[in-house]
Amino acid sequence: MIDDAQLKDIRADTPGLAQGAHLLACGSSLQPRPVVDAVINHLKLEAEIGGYEAAEDNATAHEGVYDHIAAHINAAPEEIAVVENATVAWQHAFYAIPLAPGSRILTAEAEYAANYVAFLQRAKREDLKIEVIPSDASGQLDTAALEAMMGPDVGLIAITWIPTNGGLVNPSAEVGRIARKHDVPYLLDACQAAGQVHIDVKALGCDFLSVTARKFLRGPRGIGFLYVAKRWLKTIEPAMIDFFGAPWTSRDAYTLRPDARRFENWENAYALRAGLSTAMTYADQIGIDAIEARVSHLGGLCAEMAGALPGVTNMDLGVTKSGITSFKLDGADASVITAQLRVSGFSVGTSGPGTTRIDAEKRDLPTLLRIAPHYYNTEDEITRCVKRLGELMSERR
């Protein structure tokens, strides 16, 4: 549990809160001071002594990012590649997984747009089929339906654990159990899960997992990571390589690195790595279980309070709810309301149908208003934001 004294310290560590109530952790959350310091200190060192020299002098700290990530997700450091963002992490895995012509890719209704367009591209190029696993009555992925869809031609299960909108938490560990049973590769998008819920890659049974730093992890923008299960490291060949991931070992040959860093390039954002490393430590010091409990509590409050306003309907799905709440606004444009809330000191966001098209088409969703508190937010900030939303909505009637 995060108690009042701890919350006070956390908020004192979060300079951005002085600017207003930031309630958009699913977009990009507020970084704590130690993360900002880690990034700036490394940039300053680069300016003072040069980029290569700064990387060399901070080498131990930079290597530490693999240990921090691995400890946080119950993996080994050699199973981690640090890359630019969740999309790049996901793409590295997806485009490297061998799929025989005619094989089926199984995904979920709330799959993220960036992933789905990549399915479409490979399907077009390689004669693959994309099949969407139906949701159950609660709106979460139906694991019985998934089990019924399995067969020898399933080449991949790729789903999003916590989608970008809709409050949903898909049963990712149960999906992993089915993937393992049928020995099918399982690629899990954990972009919105990291820093919000407990991640244990062994319990999830996933082969690959993609994450970004800037959302619930409170890291800087422009960095993320990929987990690659050890069993893949003997065989998996990245779709693109450079001489860091695959050293040029003789004139006509290269040798892949033995670890997941075969997916990395030689050039790196060392300042951002320092920030990511610090963000992982920061989350672990607070404790992911305490974070999960508070995010769930604050998300539930948002859903209940904003959903009770006239003209505002909570659109969240699933049995277990994430901290990302989404609302349909009657007679109001969510983008305009978002801009007006921002002027009033409340940062919230929108989510358009193009981000989760299958779900949006099924439920005929317009652009939704998204409110996603983090553990550093307070009940008071949510109450004031909902009150202002209510005022803006009543001005439209």
Ligand X SMILES: Cc1ncc(COP(=O)(O)O)c(C=O)c1O
Burial of 281 (0-12, 13-18, 19+ CB in 10 A): middle
Residue 351 touches ligand X, criterion: CB under 6 A: no
The smaller minimum CB distance to ligand X, of residues 160 and 367, is found at 160
- Residue of the chain from 55, 114, 123, 301 that contacts ligand X (CB under 6 A): 114
Residue 325 touches ligand X, criterion: CB under 6 A: no
- Residue of the chain from 164, 314, 325, 326 that contacts ligand X (CB under 6 A): 164
Least separation in angstroms between CB 97 and ligand X: 17
Two tokens, residue 26: 């699913």
* Max Cα-Cα span within the chain: 73
Residue 14 touches ligand X, criterion: CB under 6 A: no
Distance between CA atoms of residues 243 and 264, nearest Å: 10
Least separation in angstroms between CB 112 and ligand X: 4
Residue 326 touches ligand X, criterion: CB under 6 A: no
- Residue of the chain from 28, 29, 58, 160 that contacts ligand X (CB under 6 A): 160
Residue 163 touches ligand X, criterion: CB under 6 A: yes
Least separation in angstroms between CB 204 and ligand X: 15
Least separation in angstroms between CB 23 and ligand X: 16
Least separation in angstroms between CB 317 and ligand X: 14
Least separation in angstroms between CB 90 and ligand X: 7
In order of 25, 46, 328, the CA distances from 366 in angstroms are 21, 46, 7
Stretch that binds ligand X, among 14-22, 184-192, 247-255, 302-310 (CB under 6 A): 184-192
Q: How far is the first Cα of the chain from the last one, in angstroms, to the nearest whole number? A: 41
Least separation in angstroms between CB 41 and ligand X: 24
Amino acid at site 154:
V
DSSP element (H, E) containing 43 = helix 33-49
Distance between CA atoms of residues 272 and 278, nearest Å: 10
The smaller minimum CB distance to ligand X, of residues 100 and 239, is found at 239
Residues 6+ apart with CB under 8 A from 394: 310
Strands 80-83 and 224-228: antiparallel
The smaller minimum CB distance to ligand X, of residues 14 and 87, is found at 87
- Residue of the chain from 28, 29, 85, 347 that contacts ligand X (CB under 6 A): 85
Least separation in angstroms between CB 191 and ligand X: 4
CB 25 within 8 A of CB 382: no
Query: Of residues 198-217, which lie at the interface with ligand X (CB under 6 A)?
Result: 212
Stretch that binds ligand X, among 60-68, 142-150, 188-196, 367-375 (CB under 6 A): 188-196
DSSP state of 264: S
CB 331 within 8 A of CB 311: yes
CB 106 within 8 A of CB 156: yes
Residue 86 touches ligand X, criterion: CB under 6 A: yes
The smaller minimum CB distance to ligand X, of residues 32 and 219, is found at 219
CB 320 within 8 A of CB 331: no
Residue 112 touches ligand X, criterion: CB under 6 A: yes
- Does residue 32 sit in helix, strand or coil? coil
The smaller minimum CB distance to ligand X, of residues 10 and 81, is found at 81
The torsion defined by the Cα of 233, 238, 244 and 246, in degrees rounded to 10, comes to 70
Query: Of residues 273-302, which lie at the interface with ligand X (CB under 6 A)?
Result: none
The smaller minimum CB distance to ligand X, of residues 214 and 257, is found at 214
- Residue of the chain from 171, 220, 224, 318 that contacts ligand X (CB under 6 A): 224
DSSP element (H, E) containing 106 = strand 104-108
- Residue of the chain from 79, 109, 142, 189 that contacts ligand X (CB under 6 A): 189
Stretch that binds ligand X, among 6-14, 134-142, 157-165, 282-290 (CB under 6 A): 157-165
CB 10 within 8 A of CB 378: no
Two tokens, residue 85: 């963002």
Amino acid at site 275:
G
What residues line the site for ligand X (CB under 6 A)? 85-87, 112, 114, 160, 163-164, 189, 191-192, 212, 224
